[in-house]
Amino acid sequence: MARKFIKYNLMIPGPTPIPTRVLSAMNHDMIGHRGPLFSAVMKDVMEDLRWAYETKNTIFIYPSSGTGGMEAAVVNTLSPGDKVIVLNIGNFGSRFAKICTAYGVIVNDVKFERGKPADPEVLLKELKKEPVKAVLFQQNETSTGVINDVKTLAKVVRENQPDALIIVDAVSGMMAAPLKTDEWDLDVVVSGSQKAFMVPPGVAAVSISERAFKAYEISKCSKHYWDFGLMKAEAPKGHTYTTPPESLIFGMREGLKMLKEEGRENVFARHKANRDLCRAAAKGLGLKLLADDSCASPAVTAICSPDGIDGEEIRKYMREDFNVEVAPGQSELKSKIFRIGHLGYVESLDIIGAFAALEVLLKRMGAKTNFGAGVKAAMELL
Ligand SMILES: Cc1ncc(COP(=O)(O)O)c(C=O)c1O
């Protein structure tokens, strides 16, 4: 008879598990979203989001997944016929290119080998070819487990095309790794509630610089739901244009409060430690990693399936035999890799537990791995 589990282990790169504190905070009566009670909640959330983003810029909150935030960034700052560069290091880079193309923006889709970050030298070469309206890229590419050097990429843009907009998808990177919106002069930065904020999916936050607001004034993309102007009219009152997802916003307030209590540097250190543990365990077990140590994501690790074993089979048995959910490879990496998420509400023992399960099932599947050596390597790191 199949084993019955009572505990579910979510090890994907978002949604992350949710702390009880956040769940409890969400268990709140609905309140009038055009009144002072809601304005007070929004004031806290906005203040703490600015802390997370390290910015004084305006931030808008949309009832939306992260993709909506990406679309808001594009439709509010660009126009059909504008030329942009997308630094495409994975699936979410491709998504930026698709969104731009859907609105008639002309994309120079600069693709990098999967598992590698965007190369600033390549960006420089592209910037020298012709003026562009914007450069778009990910802080952290979730599909490959690679983190970009946002600071350097932004610097290359500013030094070569000072007026170009820098649009960053920080959906899976925000609060998993440093992102200094103002210091690095980033124009639009998008994040999502379901990642390091430790809140369920459904809120996208978008920061907007003065340069981006100027671009908004002349942007000709069709828009209504995402229109910055509609949000701008409500934001000073602590309101949103549409009915806000109140429960999630109560959750955001608590998630952000927890992050502030932990402290920015400690939050980053926790994510780095999770990354190192995950990589040590995979290497100990004899598995290959898609990304080099130099660009390894603190949010998610992409692990290559052992020879002759399908990544989807690994996911299936992780779920069926141990109730551990890990993420699949996407697009051309499907079946070739699987991904372990370690952002948000995840601790070292969750990772070690997941590896214990992985070791047992790889042995059952007949993979040639060093049984026990993954967990041992992780324990030694602890
Ligand atoms: C880097 C990145 N960008 C964008 C998204 C899209 O977010 P959503 O699925 O919430 O629309 C994701 C989701 O995983 C992501 O990891």
Q: Is residue 84 part of a domain?
A: yes
Closest ligand 1 atom to Cα of 173: 1
Q: Is residue 3 part of a domain?
A: no
Looking at the structure of the chain, the number of domains it has is 2
- The answer to whether residues 185 and 308 belong to one domain is no
Task: Please give the backbone phi and psi of residue 159, each rounded to the nearest 5 degrees, phi first.
Answer: -75, -25
CB atoms within 10 A of CB 81: 10
51: CATH: 3.40.640.10
Q: What is the pLDDT of residues 25-76, one digit of tens each?
A: 999 999 999 999 999 999 999 999 999 999 999 999 999 999 999 999 999 9
Q: Tokens for 97?
A: 């290119």
Read off the pLDDT band of 1 (50, 70, 90): low
Closest ligand 1 atom to Cα of 68: 11
Q: What is the pLDDT of residues 250-270, one digit of tens each?
A: 999 999 999 999 999 999 999
Q: How far is the CA of 223 from the centre of ligand 1 (A)?
A: 21
- Give me the mean pLDDT over the 178-191 stretch: 98
Q: Is the preceding omega at residue 120 within 30 degrees of 0, hence cis?
A: no
- The answer to whether residues 294 and 192 belong to one domain is no
- The answer to whether residues 335 and 313 belong to one domain is yes
Q: How far is the CA of 218 from the centre of ligand 1 (A)?
A: 28
- The answer to whether residues 116 and 102 belong to one domain is yes
Domain boundary pick from 231, 261, 291 = 261
Cα atoms found within 13 Å of the Cα of residue 161, Cβ hemisphere only: 21
Read off the pLDDT band of 82 (50, 70, 90): very high
Q: Is residue 4 part of a domain?
A: no
- The answer to whether residues 227 and 312 belong to one domain is no
Domain boundary pick from 261, 294, 321 = 261
Share of the chain above pLDDT 70, in %: 99
- The answer to whether residues 314 and 169 belong to one domain is no
Averaged pLDDT of the chain: 97
Q: What is the pLDDT of residues 111-169, one digit of tens each?
A: 999 999 999 999 999 999 999 999 999 999 999 999 999 999 999 999 999 999 999 99
Domain boundary pick from 246, 261, 276 = 261
Provide the domain limits for residue 369: 9-16+265-381
- Give me the mean pLDDT over the 361-376 stretch: 94
Q: How far is the CA of 362 from the centre of ligand 1 (A)?
A: 29
For residue 214, pLDDT beyond 70: yes
Q: What is the pLDDT of residues 313-330, one digit of tens each?
A: 999 999 999 999 999 999
Predicted local distance difference test score (pLDDT) of residue 3: 75
- The answer to whether residues 302 and 325 belong to one domain is yes
Q: 0.95 exceeded by the pTM?
A: yes
Q: How far is the CA of 35 from the centre of ligand 1 (A)?
A: 32
User: Which residue owns the Cα nearest ligand 1 atom 8?
Assistant: 66
- Give me the mean pLDDT over the 179-193 stretch: 98
- The answer to whether residues 166 and 51 belong to one domain is yes
- The answer to whether residues 250 and 329 belong to one domain is no
Q: Is residue 103 part of a domain?
A: yes
Determine if residue 270 is labeled as part of a ligand binding site: no
Residue type for position 199: V
Q: Which residues line ligand 1 (CB under 6 A)?
A: 14, 65-67, 92, 138, 140, 142, 169, 171-172, 192, 201
Those residues with Cβ within 8 angstroms of residue 381's Cβ, 6 or more apart along the chain or in another chain: 276, 277, 280
- The answer to whether residues 206 and 271 belong to one domain is no
Read off the pLDDT band of 4 (50, 70, 90): confident
